[in-house]
């Protein structure tokens, strides 16, 4: 009888210890979404990242990409610029200035390009009061944003080479048209080659 009593007491004590151990890990859900344990420890709530604000585009501008913004031309301004370009093209045709052509996705000056620029530099030295716009052009492959950047690199490469030949950088303005103003519209490699160029234009103003 005594042995049976001791066995029952032992089982009861083991059951109490098991319940106590489970109770130590009990958690309470807090009102803020964090978890609080009975020991008073609070697990931090992970903050959600703030959304990225959209890029700002000012009135009169058109966003080509996150990094490139171009100005929208008003109709009257566009007409005036078209007339200026026609005058510049006519004036440039009388100078004998030579364009520089580039390989696909390239902006380094080739040997043929160096020869052309040597002739252009000599013309600029002879006509000291004249100034040029160097236009960077690309073929139609690639995005508009990518080709605007590539065209700028080509125009800057031409300007840099002319400066190395002794031309004042203040006489040389660079701009990029990317693939927007092709010289040839056929979808052939020969045509693409014609469009990958640094085009020298005599400024009339």
Q: Which of 179, 176, 175, 172 is nearest to 195 (CA)?
A: 179
SS3 of residue 123 by DSSP: helix
* Residue 110 structure tokens: 């080739």
Q: Is the whole-model pTM more than 0.85? A: no
Residues 152, 161: Cα–Cα separation, whole Å: 14
pLDDT in tens, 57-115: 545 555 555 545 455 556 777 778 788 888 889 999 999 999 999 999 999 999 999 99
On the question of pLDDT at 116 being above 90, the answer is yes
CA distance linking residue 203 with residue 205, whole number of Å: 6
For domain 96-202, give the fold. 60s Ribosomal Protein L30; Chain: A; (3.30.1330)
SS3 193: helix
Q: How far is CA 49 from the centre of its chain?
A: 24
Q: What is the mean pLDDT of the chain?
A: 79
- Helix ranges (H only) for the chain are 2-23, 75-93, 111-126, 144-164, 189-195
Domain definitions of the chain by residue range: 96-202
**Of 43-47, 79-83, 184-188, minimum mean pLDDT range:** 43-47
Burial class (CB in 10 A: 0-12, 13-18, 19+), 163: middle
137-149 pLDDT tens trace: 999 999 999 999 9
To the nearest 10°, the Cα dihedral for 27, 29, 30, 35? 50
3-state SS, residue 107: coil
Characterize the bridge pairing of strands 132-137 and 172-178.
parallel
Task: Count CA within 13 A, CB hemisphere, residue 109.
Answer: 18
User: How far from 155 is each of 1, 38, 140, 175, CA to CA, in Å?
Assistant: 107, 70, 17, 7
């Amino acid at each position: 009888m005594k042995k049976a009593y001791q066995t029952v007491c032992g089982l009861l004590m083991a059951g109490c210890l098991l319940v106590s151990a489970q109770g130590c890990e009990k958690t309470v859900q807090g009102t803020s979404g964090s978890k609080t344990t009975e020991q008073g420890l609070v697990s931090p709530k992970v903050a959600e990242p703030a959304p990225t604000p959209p890029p700002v585009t000012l009135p009169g501008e058109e966003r080509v990409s996150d990094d490139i913004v171009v100005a929208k031309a008003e109709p009257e301004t566009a007409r005036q610029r078209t007339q200026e370009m026609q005058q510049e093209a006519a004036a440039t045709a009388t100078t004998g200035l030579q364009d520089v052509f580039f390989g696909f996705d390239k902006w380094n000056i080739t040997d043929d390009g160096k020869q052309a620029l040597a002739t252009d530099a000599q013309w600029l030295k002879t006509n000291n009061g004249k100034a040029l716009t160097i236009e960077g052009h690309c073929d139609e492959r690639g995005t508009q944003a990518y080709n605007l950047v590539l065209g700028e690199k080509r125009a800057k490469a031409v300007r840099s080479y002319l400066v190395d030949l002794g031309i004042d950088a203040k006489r040389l303005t660079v701009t990029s048209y990317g693939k927007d103003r092709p010289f040839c519209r056929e979808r052939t490699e020969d045509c693409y080659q014609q469009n990958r160029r640094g085009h020298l234009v005599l400024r009339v103003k």
